[in-house]
Amino acid sequence: MRRLIAPLWCSLLLLPLVACGPEAAGDADPAADAGAGVDVGGGDLPDVPRPACPFTATQVADLLGQPMEDQGDCLFGDGKGVAALTITTASPIAGGATYDYQRQQATTAYREVKDVDKGRKAYLAVKDIGGEAVVISDKGSFTVILSSFERIGAGPGGYEPALRKVLDALPL
């Protein structure tokens, strides 16, 4: 008799779940409601494709004042596996959708975060060993990350002047 009780209870617990199915929720399409009420930050941003990487290794070396190597997909390194500049590009709409979240995360990861006058909206974030800048413009969105540059980190103003130089060179 005990052997029959456990399967009976399991079937009584599972039967209502199986019997209801997805139609019981009012025949709603879950995919249609997935983005309902979510502001993706597009607003009046143009729907243009993601821009290509805006720089070559030579241009990055000129901007940062030290030799850099193209390591693929808009990643430039010093050739020693230490210093790196990464640029991630996206469409203006995609960048606008994540901008507020990125900026909020930067306030926890960086010592200083400030808005800058570039594109439609932009911020710059710095700490001792790196920096980040995000720009949303009509031509695309750009996330720039600098890390582990000994000369830049030790220089006056740290990473901020280097990031501003890169931002000024972006095709906004």
pLDDT tens per residue across span 76-86: 999 999 999 99
Closest-CA residue to 129 (of 144, 145, 113)? 145
Residue 75 belongs to what H/E stretch? strand 75-77
The edge-to-edge listing of strands for the beta sheet with 84-90 is 69-70, 75-77, 84-90, 140-147, 130-137, 121-127, 112-115
Please determine, for residue 9, whether its predicted confidence score (pLDDT) is greater than 80: no
Over residues 53-74, mean pLDDT: 97
Please determine, for residue 64, whether its predicted confidence score (pLDDT) is greater than 80: yes
CB 115 within 8 A of CB 156: no
Res. 15 pLDDT band, cuts 50 70 90: very low
Please determine, for residue 136, whether its predicted confidence score (pLDDT) is greater than 50: yes
Please determine, for residue 119, whether its predicted confidence score (pLDDT) is greater than 80: yes
- Model's pTM, two decimal places? 0.74
Can you give the pLDDT at residue 40? 45
Could you tell me which residue, 121 or 37, shows the higher pLDDT?
121
Q: Helix, strand, coil % (nearest 5) of the chain?
A: 40, 25, 35
DSSP state of 73: T
Can you give the pLDDT at residue 43? 65
Res. 12 pLDDT band, cuts 50 70 90: very low
Please determine, for residue 3, whether its predicted confidence score (pLDDT) is greater than 70: no
CB 74 within 8 A of CB 53: yes
Average pLDDT of the chain, as a whole number: 82
Candidate from 30-34, 45-49, 114-118 with smallest mean pLDDT: 30-34
Res. 118 pLDDT band, cuts 50 70 90: very high
Where do the domains of the chain lie, and which CATH numbers do they carry?
A: 57-169 (3.40.1000)
- Provide the token pair at 131: 């920096």
Exposed/middle/buried for residue 28 (C-beta within 10 Å: 0-12, 13-18, 19+): exposed
